[in-house]
């Protein structure tokens, strides 16, 4: 040990921190070149929708008043005083142009139908427009004219409910959150496979659709949390049965990323921890870091004797089709019916090829828009009389999970509060 070993092992906290002036100056320049913006934290889908609505608004530029940054606040107030009509005209035009041609039984064969039938949609459009304008126009002007920052504020229109009533739009909620039963789910799954000739979908659509429905039925997750599931969110392995060591089982671990959560934030509560249900996966896994996993839940399933319900089999079929296995498996039997593991070996991971660990490789390549279209088509072919929605599976699962799991775990799985859960279950 050195002469003064005790002193060298002591933690010394500096009284004055020494900053590198050159590095600090470079950091200031870096952040000046890229100023803070609330829009950078937006979900990509929300940003795209805002930009699409803003483009529609820019089409009315000939009707909008021409204002400059140098105009005095008093002039701005008077210039905008009578411009509410322009906003009203934009929202009315947005509704009038939201039409599509639908087949009908009359001699004309097709008729124009409005795709917007709820006043809440018009209200959403207005909020998107206001928020985008606030970020792009109003916020820079407030920073330039701090003394009159209040002038550069947009106020929401209270005219939208009146417009909705005038146009006959529904001012209330247009759907009821009914619960899908196990029979409903089985009907949907059997129809997609047994009535394939009556559906406009390919085998590449049927398999992801089946995965989508089964996984929703397992945990009641939001449909948006399951779309475009990646290979790096699925793991397969051979595991020795702890009860009968001569039996080897194929186990599948599936990771679900909760949606509708703000991901870039500092966590100070236990709920943000990654939850793993009966899982022996390393933490973190598949090259992920802790930030990527704070909003995820991992569960495990095994092979079951039902092809339309076995998620492990569906994942295996897709992986073999894509030639994703590192070991080069070419049949489901090789993966799902393994021989007894060698003595001393209890776990063998069936790894994906390196290129399939990228974020653009999807084991369930179906987005929610395509899933919803196919869901409605399957429902019609099956002869469903009710307007069964995909969200009904989530509502039904909430009721089944209640009582089977502790409230805290149940709430985390479905990503809702106890107050909300009690409201759903009471229905």
Four-point Cα dihedral 367, 372, 375, 379, nearest 10 = 180
Measured in degrees and rounded to the nearest 5, phi and psi for residue 237 equal -155, 155
pLDDT surpasses 80 at 152: no
Distance (Å, rounded) from C-alpha 404 to C-alpha 420? Answer: 18
| Mean pLDDT (the chain, rounded) | 78
If pLDDT is split at 50, 70 and 90, which confidence band does 75 have? very low
Q: How confident is the model at residue 235 (pLDDT cuts 50, 70, 90)?
A: very high
Q: Could you tell me the pLDDT band of residue 327, with boundaries at 50, 70 and 90? A: very high
Give which of 180, 197, 176, 177 is closest to 188, Cα–Cα. 180
Mean pLDDT confidence for 295-301: 84
The closest alpha carbon to 115, from 101, 135, 125, 100, belongs to 100
Average pLDDT value for residue range 182-191 = 92
Q: Are 295 and 261 in contact (CB under 8 A)?
A: yes
Q: Which residues pair with 240 in a beta bridge?
A: 248
Check residues 350 and 144 and name the one with the higher pLDDT: 350
**Mean pLDDT (whole number) for 238-266:** 84
Helix (H/G/I), strand (E/B), else coil: 235: strand
Number of CB atoms found within 10 A of residue 281's CB: 15
DSSP designation for 302: E
> Which positions ≥6 away from 124 have C-beta within 8 Å?
none
Q: Is the pLDDT of residue 378 over 70?
A: yes
DSSP assignment of 385-418:
-S---THHHHHHHHHHHBTTB-HHHHHHHHT--H
Decide: 225 and 254 in contact? Cβ < 8 Å.
no
Which residues lie below 8 Å from residue 338, measured CB to CB, with a gap of 6+? 238, 248, 250
Kindly report the backbone phi and psi dihedral angles of residue 283, in degrees, each rounded to the nearest multiple of 5, phi listed first. Answer: -130, 115
- H or E stretch including 369? helix 368-382
CA pair distance 377, 383, nearest whole angstrom: 10
| Residue 403, both tokens | 């009582």
Instruction: Taking residues 111-140, report their average pLDDT.
Output: 83
Residues 6+ apart with CB under 8 A from 117: 169, 170, 174
Listed residue (156, 99, 166, 95) closest to 130, CA to CA: 156
Distance CA(360)–CA(228), nearest Å, equals 9
User: What is the SS3 assignment for 58?
Assistant: helix
Q: What band does 171 get if pLDDT is binned at 50, 70 and 90?
A: confident
Give the CA distances from residue 351 to residues 52, 223, 316, 328, in Å, rounded to whole numbers and listed in that order: 41, 27, 12, 10
Burial of 379 (0-12, 13-18, 19+ CB in 10 A): buried
pLDDT at residue 420 in the model = 62
Question: Count of CB atoms within 10 A of residue 214's CB?
Answer: 19
The pLDDT tens digits of the residues spanning 304-315 come to 999 999 999 999
Count the helices and strands in the chain (H runs, E runs).
17, 9
Residue 413 has pLDDT above 50, yes or no: yes
- For the four alpha carbons of 379, 380, 383 and 388, in that order, the dihedral sign comes to positive
Ranges of each domain in the chain: 44-167, 179-201+211-220+367-426, 229-258+294-364
Return the top range by mean pLDDT from 196-205, 333-342, 378-387: 333-342
pLDDT of the residue at 283: 36
What's the Rg (C-alpha) of the chain?
A: 28
């Amino acid at each position: 040990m050195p002469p003064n070993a005790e002193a060298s092992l002591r933690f010394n906290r500096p009284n004055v921190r020494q900053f590198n002036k050159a590095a600090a100056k470079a950091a200031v320049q870096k952040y000046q070149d890229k100023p803070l913006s609330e829009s950078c934290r937006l979900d990509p889908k929300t940003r795209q929708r805002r930009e699409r609505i803003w483009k529609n608004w820019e089409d009315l530029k000939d009707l909008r008043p021409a204002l400059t940054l140098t105009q005095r606040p008093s002039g701005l107030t008077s210039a905008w005083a009578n411009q509410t009509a322009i906003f009203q005209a934009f929202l009315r035009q947005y509704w009038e142009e939201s039409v599509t041609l639908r087949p009908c039984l009359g001699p004309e064969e097709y008729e124009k139908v409005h795709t917007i039938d709820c006043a809440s949609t018009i209200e959403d459009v207005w909020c998107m427009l206001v928020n985008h304008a606030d970020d792009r126009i109003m916020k820079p002007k407030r920073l330039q004219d701090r003394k009159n920052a209040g002038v550069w504020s947009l106020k929401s229109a209270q005219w939208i409910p009146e417009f909705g009533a005038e146009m006959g739009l529904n001012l209330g909620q247009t759907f009821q959150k009914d619960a899908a039963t196990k029979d409903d789910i089985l009907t949907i799954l059997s129809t997609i496979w047994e009535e394939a000739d009556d559906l406009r979908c390919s085998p590449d659509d049927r398999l992801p659709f089946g995965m989508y429905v089964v996984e929703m039925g397992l945990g009641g997750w939001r449909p948006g949390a399951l779309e475009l599931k990646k290979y790096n969110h699925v793991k397969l392995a051979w595991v020795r049965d702890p009860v009968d060591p001569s039996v080897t089982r194929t186990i599948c671990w599936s990771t679900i990323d909760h949606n509708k959560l703000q991901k870039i934030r500092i966590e100070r509560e236990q709920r943000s921890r990654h939850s793993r249900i009966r899982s022996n996966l390393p933490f973190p896994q598949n090259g992920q870091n802790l930030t990527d996993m704070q909003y995820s839940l991992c569960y495990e399933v095994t092979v079951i004797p039902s092809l339309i319900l076995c998620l492990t089999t569906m994942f295996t079929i897709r992986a073999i089709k894509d030639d994703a296995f590192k070991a080069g498996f070419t049949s489901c039997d090789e993966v799902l019916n393994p021989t007894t593991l060698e003595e001393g070996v209890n776990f063998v991971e069936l790894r994906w090829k390196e290129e399939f660990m990228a974020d653009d490789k999807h084991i369930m390549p179906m987005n929610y828009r395509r899933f919803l279209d196919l869901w409605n088509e399957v429902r019609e072919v099956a002869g469903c009389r009710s307007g069964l929605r995909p969200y009904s599976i989530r509502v039904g699962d909430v009721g089944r999970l209640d009582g089977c799991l502790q409230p805290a775990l149940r709430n985390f799985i479905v990503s809702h509060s106890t107050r909300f859960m009690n409201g759903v279950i009471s229905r």
